[in-house]
């Protein structure tokens, strides 16, 4: 899905996840940034050790 507005609900959730540790804990998720870290998480998800909920990229 192409996101064209900062008012998009998913972008609002991402922004809150980035800025609010309590919200990350409540949601049971964390944000991964950077190519190397994303590749590591992708490998872990393929091994069943992690679950990817969303992927945002530019």
Lowest mean pLDDT: which of 2-6, 16-20, 29-33, 44-48? 2-6
pTM of the model: 0.77
Average pLDDT over residues 31-46: 95
First and final C-alpha spacing in the chain: 12
Nearest to 45 by CA among 56, 54, 58: 54
Per-residue pLDDT at 1 exceeds 90: no
User: Above 90 in pLDDT, residue 58?
Assistant: no
Total domains in the chain come to 1
Q: Which spans in 1-58 are helix H?
A: 9-19, 21-27, 35-46
Average pLDDT of the chain is 94
Q: Which domain holds residue 24?
A: 1-52+54-58
What pLDDT score was predicted for residue 6?
86
């Amino acid at each position: 899905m192409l996101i064209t507005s900062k008012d998009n609900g998913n972008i609002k959730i991402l922004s809150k996840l980035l800025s609010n540790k309590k919200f990350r804990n409540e949601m049971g998720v964390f944000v991964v940034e950077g190519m190397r870290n994303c590749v590591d998480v992708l490998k872990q998800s393929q091994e069943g050790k992690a679950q990817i909920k969303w992927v945002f990229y530019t």
